[in-house]
Amino acid sequence: MPTIAVLPPAVADQIAAGEVVERPASVVKELVENALDAGATAVEITVEEGGRALVRVSDDGRGMGRDDAVLALARHATSKIRTAEDLVGVTSFGFRGEALPAICSVSQLDVVTASADGAGTRVEAAGGALVHVSEAARRRGTTVSVARLFYNTPARQKFLRSARSEWRAIADVLVLVALARPDVRLTATHDGRTVVVYPAAPTLRARLGAVHGAGYADGLLDVDDVDGAVRVAGLVERPGDVGTTARRTYLSVNGRAVRDLGLVRAAESAYRSTLAAGLRPSLFLTVTVPADQVDVNVHPAKAEVRFRDRWTVERAVERAVRRALGTFDSGTALGSGWRVVPRGAPGAVPVPAGGTWPAVGADVAALRVHAHPGGRPDTGLFAPDGALPAPFDARTLDPTPAGAAPLPWDEVERAPPGAVPGSPTGATSNGEAAEGPAAGDEIVVPPLTQLRRTFLMFEHPDGLVLIDQHSAHERVLYERFLGALERGDAPMQRLLFPLTLHLSPAHAEAFEAHREEFARLGYDAEPFGGASLLVHAVPTPHARFDAERCLRETLDALTGDRHAAAHARHERLAATVACKAAVKAGDPLSDGEMRALYVALARTTLPAHDVHGRATIVHLGWDEVERRFGRR
């Protein structure tokens, strides 16, 4: 007697249902997606006992005729595809023809549908078998009722959780659907109580406001970028807000909500050097790619997709999020961004709304060394050393590739971030498009005031803006040092007499582990017996840079540090050196130095955050100021 047997159709159907129907939330997902494929603009969901007793989904989409309504309960019956070639580029939510028959095999199913207002069809089935077909009156659309889920599979039924837990899972599904299709109205009732009402919304932000609250949605940053054939849009959390609320992630590819750790990691990598360790941001991103570049038929529940060129898509996601984070608005601020004025445009020195100050352009003369009446050069932070007066070099603050041929003053003032002298407009050292103001645009610098020798303050049309001078200079130097580590062209100064440093064994070990990177940053040093170093040359990021102190403090920070990859080690070293070399709180800055720092910060990729994840820019809105004075 053979030991292998073909399973009866009823058993096979129930096994197949296990892949599609895990719990009541799976039923809701499949039925709502069917409604959306039918062109519904409003979907109503009714749930009883967490979906155990009843799940009913009603829509106003295209209904079915009598023959189609009966055939829809057959396995692999679908209106979405006809041949295997149709799977390439399929854009509908469903296409396998498995949802309704799988649900029917483990429940009591009732379908009422009509292709036009008036006469329709009612189909009743249970346990995978057709029970009755009759006429019914209904407006255009379809209503599918699923009762007594898993009534004929007690083993599956006993694994269902409480009604409250099952309802929470259903609510999570409705949130995903709501974010995927903001244009569709969704309402849901649970045990006779209306719980969810999501009106049709024009934008993802508006729909997110209906789901999680307007305050939460308004605090997110817009993302909208096109890279080749890939478009990335949506909303992401400001680095300063990460960790203050529950983390939420949502991804959709061509309108389909999916799980994709690769895309999440790509988006999170854009936050590098803006977040403290262990923090992960909230993301709400929609990715649009050509339909033939993505395979949606790789998961039983279609919750995952496969890209033909994953690296291109992940790169586009990272760049889009990084561009969003590179705006003034990404800081702990409500401002409208850096004021950029095209060269020669009317009002190049604008007055803000309700103007109280005339903006001052970052002119060349203001960036040169200030002279005292007696002719002695000012020894400001960025002024040359000694009695050798020289023009101020904006590159000491700007992350332009070090060692490149000097630009004319007009170009230095207006070049895009990281621009390579002589390169085409907008080109950068790493081949990416410039993130900051376009070449030929002038950054308008408002009058700046230094507070407590720590903060720069200026008036903005939306309020008061504070800039932490240490964090700002740290960000500028970090991007400059990171470029130097990649190119190995950091400027250095040869010492007339080599400097001998006596280090602890741990510090000497840290130096040896990062010796090549220190050389790229401008430190020319070699072992000098035991734990001593002989330093022949040091970097020159600015005139008052204390090379010995910076090296010692950097080695102290790196002691015992371990890194899994060279790229992470480069970033860590660049961040550490930038922190130690930057302007400190308590350092006085001249007017020209403050303006130079403002311009250099504006030209960085991520101006609103330092390398430790702290805010560089904080905005105090006029509403808050007026409220404090009792004017509101």
For 527-568, how does the pLDDT look when each residue is reduced to its tens digit (9 = 90+)?
A: 887 788 898 888 877 666 778 888 888 888 777 554 444 456
- The answer as to whether 224 is a domain residue is yes
Q: Is 54 helix (H, G, I), strand (E, B) or coil?
A: strand
CB-based burial label for 213 (10 Å; 0-12, 13-18, 19+):
exposed
For 314-323, how does the pLDDT look when each residue is reduced to its tens digit (9 = 90+)?
A: 999 999 999 9
- How far is residue 520's CA from residue 491's CA, in Å, rounded to a whole number? 9
Model pLDDT, residue 195 = 93
- How far is residue 215's CA from residue 102's CA, in Å, rounded to a whole number? 41
Q: In the predicted model, what is the mean pLDDT of residues 566-585?
A: 77
Model pLDDT, residue 432 = 39
Together in a domain, 73 and 43? yes
- How far is residue 534's CA from residue 513's CA, in Å, rounded to a whole number? 16
- The answer as to whether 22 is a domain residue is yes
Per cent of the chain over pLDDT 90 is 32
- How far is residue 151's CA from residue 85's CA, in Å, rounded to a whole number? 38
- The answer as to whether 15 is a domain residue is yes
What single-letter amino acid sits at 341? V
Contact 572, 557 (CB under 8 A): no
Q: Out of 149, 174, 198, pick the residue that ends a domain.
A: 198
Please name the residue that has the structure tokens 């741990």: 506
For 237-254, how does the pLDDT look when each residue is reduced to its tens digit (9 = 90+)?
A: 988 888 878 889 999 998
Q: How many domains does the chain have?
A: 2
- The answer as to whether 583 is a domain residue is no
Residues 6 or more apart whose Cβ sits within 8 Å of residue 202: 182, 183
- The answer as to whether 522 is a domain residue is no
Domain residue limits at 190: 9-198
Together in a domain, 74 and 185? yes
For 369-398, how does the pLDDT look when each residue is reduced to its tens digit (9 = 90+)?
A: 333 333 333 333 333 333 323 333 334 444
Together in a domain, 242 and 174? no
Residue 583's CB is within 10 A of a number of other CB atoms, namely 26
Residues 6 or more apart whose Cβ sits within 8 Å of residue 246: none
- CA trace torsion 589, 594, 597, 601 (10° rounding): 130
Together in a domain, 174 and 270? no
Together in a domain, 148 and 235? no
Q: Out of 294, 325, 356, pick the residue that ends a domain.
A: 325
Q: In the predicted model, what is the mean pLDDT of residues 300-322?
A: 87
- The answer as to whether 17 is a domain residue is yes
- How far is residue 107's CA from residue 127's CA, in Å, rounded to a whole number? 6
For 186-234, how does the pLDDT look when each residue is reduced to its tens digit (9 = 90+)?
A: 999 999 999 999 999 999 999 999 999 988 998 899 999 999 999 999 9
Q: Out of 164, 198, 232, pick the residue that ends a domain.
A: 198
Model pLDDT, residue 375 = 35
Together in a domain, 39 and 138? yes
CATH number at residue 300: 3.30.230.10
Together in a domain, 187 and 221? no
Spatial strand order of the sheet with 463-468 comes to 449-451, 455-460, 463-468, 617-621
Residue 531's CB is within 10 A of a number of other CB atoms, namely 16
- Report whether pLDDT(30) > 80: yes
Per cent of the chain over pLDDT 70 is 74
β pairing state of 283-288 and 249-253: parallel
Together in a domain, 193 and 223? no
Model pLDDT, residue 403 = 39
Together in a domain, 118 and 45? yes
CATH number at residue 150: 3.30.565.10
Model pLDDT, residue 374 = 36
Q: In the predicted model, what is the mean pLDDT of residues 341-368?
A: 37
74-83, 441-450, 462-471, 506-515: least confidently modelled range: 74-83
Strand partners for 621 = 463
Model pLDDT, residue 418 = 39
Together in a domain, 230 and 257? yes
Q: Whole-number mean pLDDT of the chain?
A: 77
Together in a domain, 194 and 283? no
- How far is residue 426's CA from residue 437's CA, in Å, rounded to a whole number? 9
Q: In the predicted model, what is the mean pLDDT of residues 167-181?
A: 94
With left for phi above 0 and alpha for psi between -120 and 50, is residue 71 left, alpha or beta? alpha
Please name the residue that has the structure tokens 């078998």: 129
- The answer as to whether 102 is a domain residue is yes
- The answer as to whether 121 is a domain residue is yes
pLDDT band at 623 (very low <50, low <70, confident <90, very high): confident
Together in a domain, 246 and 301? yes
